Structure 1
């Protein structure tokens, strides 16, 4: 390994250990921003739904840890790592990442037309919330990641441009590239003036936009033979507007799996989501995420 590569790997480990000391679970990343360790199941023929239960590293964000010895072991197994990822949704911080992804504007166009920061300000005005001062990471492309914290009883799903074009959300099962990481496009660094800040609580109005509604507890389960069972969840998906279709589908699928209806309602929920304009592949992926994240 070249001296510069060793230096980059050493710095990545040092930054990851500092994050772990603050209670942020980390994994090593390659220069592509993907988990540096290959899945131990990549040669197995049948699909494997292992999230680290096998005890071997290589399960992406499921490897994330705050234990210093475990962090060192992960980086020892991936000496080519040039950065680190920070798992979102984990206690104690329940981190939520708001990714303002800036795209280069074509020559001759208004450079502010596709500004996700302006879109976030517009959302704040429309929904009456203020984005608080918080940890902010500058990305090599000119974008920024805002770090917020969520309540422990709210699961925020990952999303891409659902909140608004160019605004992605990193929640449960996702990760943020940590400051100090080096990628093929450049380095991630803390924005001036934010290094000493703690991640701020997510404003409630913003949380309502990015998280599924809280489930309503029923006093009893309906009759399994009732053909109307689950129709409320399907209707909830069908009445989704643009910008909330995936979030509503995720919430409905979670409730279905919690109540033992997931497998029987999966196709009906998929069809309902497609009718609202959600692509089929995205609908099926959302339901699969709900199945993985929901105890049932």
Structure 2
């Protein structure tokens, strides 16, 4: 290993140990990449940590310094931070592509805070190589928040259970992820939690057994499509994810499922066996849902 490569590996190891010291669970990403360095289910050798069955990156993420040192001794891995086990909700504020006049995620988030009568929270921030920001919040106790893709607003995604972010210290061809300020993550604001919390299923209408069957069908469809994505073989996962989003988008349009429910289920299923970045999968989900909702009538609206 060259002196430069050895210094980079040491820097990344220290960044991973620093995150773990905060109680944040980390796992290795491919060098210079945002993709997990761990094997997927289809390539699982069934040995080591997986001797009792395939263990996904979220379960392998750790705060154990010895395990972290052992992992990073093998290379200059970037740092994935599993938000669910870490008890975090991370708000990902992206920047517009190109030179358009569309507001960036940071400006839109500031407007959302103002609308809620709040200032932008002072919390741990990480600047991304693109110029965006990750805002770190501690997840509320007893509330299962998942990932969302554009639910708050365009260019704003969130990561919680089933999700991960690239941690500070990581380096990609576009640049470095840098911690900016406020070493402590603040609690997720109440107004934000109320938006991200999956909507309760509406009470069954009194129109007889048809509505009940529709609701049961939607619940089963959500479970089945998420399972299809989670078990899709490498090379077929993207197409499976798009088909699932389009299929479930019809149930969002009909009111049988909420968009947040579908986004969280599919994002978690895709991330559990990831071969692409989570942003890539979230974009596939967003496109599939947008297309399906636009091409299927809402309940009570003529086709």
Q: Does TM, normalized by the shorter one, top 0.5?
A: yes
Map 1:1-296; keep pairs closer than 5 Å: 1-29=1-29, 30-39=31-40, 41-42=42-43, 54=51, 59-76=56-73, 78-81=74-77, 83-90=78-85, 94-106=87-99, 109-110=100-101, 113-191=102-180, 194-195=181-182, 197-213=183-199, 229=212, 231=214, 271-273=250-252, 275=254, 283=262, 286=265, 289=268
1:90-112 C-alpha deviation (Å, 9 max, x unpaired): 25xx1011011113432xx43xx
1:9-51 C-alpha deviation (Å, 9 max, x unpaired): 111111111211221110112311111233364278xxx9xxx
Higher relative contact order (CA 8 A, sep 6+): 2
Between the aligned partners of 1:56 and 1:75, the Cα distance in structure 2 is 23
Bigger proportion of residues as helix: 2
Between the aligned partners of 2:103 and 2:151, the Cα distance in structure 1 is 15
1:219-272 C-alpha deviation (Å, 9 max, x unpaired): xxxxxxx765465578xx8xxxxxxxxxxx9xx958xx9xxxxxxxx9996641
1:29-76 C-alpha deviation (Å, 9 max, x unpaired): 2311111233364278xxx9xxx6546887333310111112223223
What's the secondary structure of 1:26's corresponding residue? strand
- How many aligned residue pairs are there? 241
With the length of structure 1 as denominator, give the TM-score of the two structures.
0.67
Which residue of structure 2 aligns with residue 221 of structure 1? none
CA contact (8 A) 2:136 2:185 kept: yes
1:128-187 C-alpha deviation (Å, 9 max, x unpaired): 343310001111111110001121211221122221111111111111211111122111
* Distance change in 2, residues 1:63/1:133 (3 Å): same
What's the secondary structure of 1:27's corresponding residue? strand
* Distance change in 2, residues 1:272/1:24 (3 Å): same
Q: Which runs of 5+ in 2 are unaligned?
A: 203-208, 227-243, 273-303
What's the secondary structure of 1:17's corresponding residue? helix
CA contact (8 A) 2:138 2:188 kept: yes
CA contact (8 A) 1:87 1:174 kept: yes
Q: Which runs of 5+ in 1 are unaligned?
A: 217-225, 238-248, 258-265
CA contact (8 A) 2:146 2:264 kept: no
How much has 1:275 moved relative to structure 2? 4.5
CA contact (8 A) 2:163 2:271 kept: no
